[in-house]
């Protein structure tokens, strides 16, 4: 992966000050998604970044993770597994709660989404604190599958989310 290519992607990400609350600078990826060349480049680089992992299933986190996870699964020849917020999936589910800064949340997947021994890649658009990705990893393992890694378009390094995923392979295209 070359720095000129990631610079193109960085240029397509907009800073939105004070969103969702004062003091936070939100990294808005919608300009990147709206630019066909930038989006294609992002997907090519993510596929290249994950090429050595031998993935059976891409496990993507709602909602922007679906955008990257679906396209990545197609490019690397893997299946796609959606992970959603509670109450959104119609079949029998497994669930995992996790802590937020103020409170808790949970994620769910179908209980038959992964076969035991499957090689799963957890995908999302951003890694911030790592709590959601960690909860998803536990769901994958609960179903008897193996987490071969995590892939993110961007990483907010100052939030140290990578530390919450200690013991797992973590890859990101862009770090802030």
Residue entry with tokens 């109450």: 87
Digit-coded pLDDT (tens) for 115-149:
999 999 999 999 999 999 999 999 999 999 999 99
The answer to whether residues 138 and 96 touch, using CB atoms and an 8 Å cutoff, is yes
Task: State yes or no: is 141 an active-site residue.
Answer: no
Average pLDDT, the chain: 96
pLDDT at 80: 98
Mean pLDDT of 99-120: 93
CA distance 99 to 103: 6
State the catalytic residue, choosing from 10, 64, 75, 119: 64
Q: Strands, DSSP E only, in the chain?
A: 14-17, 25-28, 57-61, 79-83, 93-100, 103-110, 119-127, 146-155, 170-175
Digit-coded pLDDT (tens) for 31-82:
999 999 999 999 999 999 999 999 999 999 999 999 999 999 999 999 999 9
CA distance 112 to 162: 28
Task: State yes or no: is 64 an active-site residue.
Answer: yes
In the three-class reduction of DSSP (H, G, I as helix; E, B as strand; rest coil), residue 90 is classed as coil
pTM as predicted = 0.96
Digit-coded pLDDT (tens) for 149-161:
999 999 999 999 9
């Amino acid at each position: 992966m070359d720095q000129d290519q990631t610079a193109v992607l960085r240029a397509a990400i907009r800073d939105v000050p004070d969103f969702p609350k004062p003091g936070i600078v939100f990294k808005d990826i919608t300009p990147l998604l709206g630019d066909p060349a930038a989006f294609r480049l992002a997907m090519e680089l993510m596929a290249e970044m994950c090429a050595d992992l031998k993935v059976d299933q891409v496990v993507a986190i709602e909602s922007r993770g679906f955008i990257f996870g679906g396209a990545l699964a197609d490019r690397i020849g893997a299946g796609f597994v959606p992970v959603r917020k509670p109450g959104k999936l119609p079949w029998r589910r497994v669930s995992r709660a996790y802590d937020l800064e103020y409170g808790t949340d949970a994620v769910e997947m179908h209980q038959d989404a992964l076969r035991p021994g499957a090689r799963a890649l957890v995908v999302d658009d951003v890694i911030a604190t790592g709590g959601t990705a960690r909860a998803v990893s536990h769901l994958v393992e609960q179903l008897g599958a193996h987490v071969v890694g995590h892939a993110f378009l961007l990483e907010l390094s100052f939030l140290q989310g990578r530390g919450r995923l200690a013991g797992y392979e973590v890859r990101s295209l862009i770090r802030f």
